[in-house]
Amino acid sequence: MPQGVILVIDDEPVQREAVAGHLHKQGYDVRVAAEGASGLEVVRREPVDVVLTDYRMPGMSGFDLLTQVQALNPDVAVVLMTAYESVKGAVEAMQAGAFDYLAKPIDLDELDLILRRAIERRRLLSENRELKRQMEGRHRLEGIVSVSDAMEEALNLAARAAASRATVLLRGESGTGKEVVARAIHAASPRRDGPFVAVNCAALNANLIESELFGHERGAFTGADRQRQGRFEQADGGTLFVDEVAEVPVETQAKLLRVLQERAFERVGGGKTLRVDVRIIAATNRDLEALIAGGRFREDLFYRLNVVTIHLPPLRARRADIPPLVEHFLDRYAEENGKSVTGVSREAMDLLMKYDYPGNVRELENLIERAVVMARGDLLTTDDLPATLRSDKSLPPSPAPSSLPETVEAVEREAIARALREAGGNQSRAAAALGLTERHLRYKLKKYGMKE
């Protein structure tokens, strides 16, 4: 089966056929075109994963081709081949949306690497779209709202995990949306018609967690005046979301481990073995490795939970998601409260973009709900935001931008500068903290004229 469909566009026949021949040997399904117009016809009539095009060609340049391919299908990755004197133009094309570029003469190893990344990107975009399509209409009010690169990996892992029955461990700070992702995984899974049952272990008395999870028989303890089903029985045939799993007492962890291994347990005070078909999604904001070292969490249970681990980034690491989240919560709470609030002032959005959100998405949601309730007009202004937000010093002040893109760029510059300071100038660590690749970070440093 071909690895992907690659369209090679080059007006030089020798170069075109040499690259196409190499790609054929690598297992790709290859199309060729001698100039941009005929290449566009190929994109119009059949699916293409990657367009590999010369930058300088008669008639239509690689840059012009890029804009037209994006208009036809923005998911198609465009990679430019360019001579040394055209590298500046290729970099400008990357700023306009090109996936990457190759300097001539072409290094075939570098070409192979770039194409593998481009094909992987296309596949991940497709999986994300499928996950969101499957979730559409099911959890509209609780759906995942994200446009940021930082959430891309998490959503892709969620999409791939959804089709399986593997145990999933969601890790991240409080308020990052772990239950939202858990519900999304369930909604996109073969168990979607079964129950989704959630239990927050941090909200329960330690003595009651075992009964809550596994149920109890009448007379099992003082006050147990009747038999009671636990969450595992309630979730049979569906998904059990065990939030704050680190709060499960060590003595109960052995019983939880057994359910993961054997799908069997006994109610508290009972001797009958019950069997269930339950998919477990666990979540925590705690450092499980540190808890294991301190003897407060079983290592064998950790390995059973840690089949598919999804790290959810904090909101401060995905600031591009703030505007769409604000819009999402604004629409919800304006409707719920019968308010006619339809937007946010530029100054208010600037404050919202600069705040660090220690409570993450949950804090942003609560903040917007409050602002909608307090709003006196159709537009949220800085006066509708809490005083703590207006006086926040978590980021240095910046000139008021004149548009939303400029607001996002200003915050990006500040976030990059801070990440580099915290990483001691190490670009690799800074890129990881920002949820970027090193190459993407270097591109942004150059874009914003920041010292590399």
**Segment 352-389, tens digit of pLDDT:** 998 989 999 999 999 999 999 988 888 888 888 888 77
Instruction: Using CB atoms within 10 Å of the CB of residue 276, give its burial: 0 to 12 exposed, 13 to 18 middle, 19+ buried.
Output: middle
User: Which pLDDT belongs to residue 365?
Assistant: 94
Residue 291 scores a pLDDT above 70: yes
Asked if the domains at 141-313 and 316-447 fall in one CATH topology, the answer is: no
Rounded mean pLDDT, 40-54: 92
Per the model's pLDDT, the better-predicted residue between 152 and 309 turns out to be: 309
Domain boundaries, the chain: 5-126, 141-313, 316-447
- Region for residue 4 given its phi and psi (left: phi exceeds 0; alpha: psi -120 to 50; beta: otherwise): left
CATH number of 141-313: 3.40.50.300
The span from the CA of 105 to the CA of 52, in Å, is 14
User: Which pLDDT belongs to residue 232?
Assistant: 94
Of the candidates 364, 366, 343, which has an alpha carbon nearest to the alpha carbon of residue 354? 364
pLDDT more than 70, % of the chain: 89
Here the contacts of 107-113 (C-beta below 8 Å, separation 24 or greater) are 108/22, 111/19, 111/22, 111/52, 112/26
* Distance from the Cα of residue 229 to its chain's centroid: 35
Considering 158-162, 200-204, 301-305, 381-385, the range whose residues carry the highest mean pLDDT is: 301-305
Least confident of 149-163, 342-356, 386-400: 386-400
Residue 398 scores a pLDDT above 70: no
The span from the CA of 79 to the CA of 39, in Å, is 14
- Fold exhibited by the domain 5-126: Rossmann fold (3.40.50)
pLDDT more than 90, % of the chain: 43
- Model pTM score: 0.58
Per-position b or e across 372-393, b if 16+ CB within 10 A of its CB:
beebeeeebebebbeeebeeee
Least confident of 45-49, 100-104, 181-185, 227-231: 100-104
User: Which pLDDT belongs to residue 397?
Assistant: 43
Least confident of 57-61, 245-249, 260-264: 57-61
The span from the CA of 351 to the CA of 347, in Å, is 6
- The CATH architecture assigned to 316-447 reads Orthogonal Bundle (1.10)
Least confident of 1-5, 157-161, 233-237, 438-442: 1-5
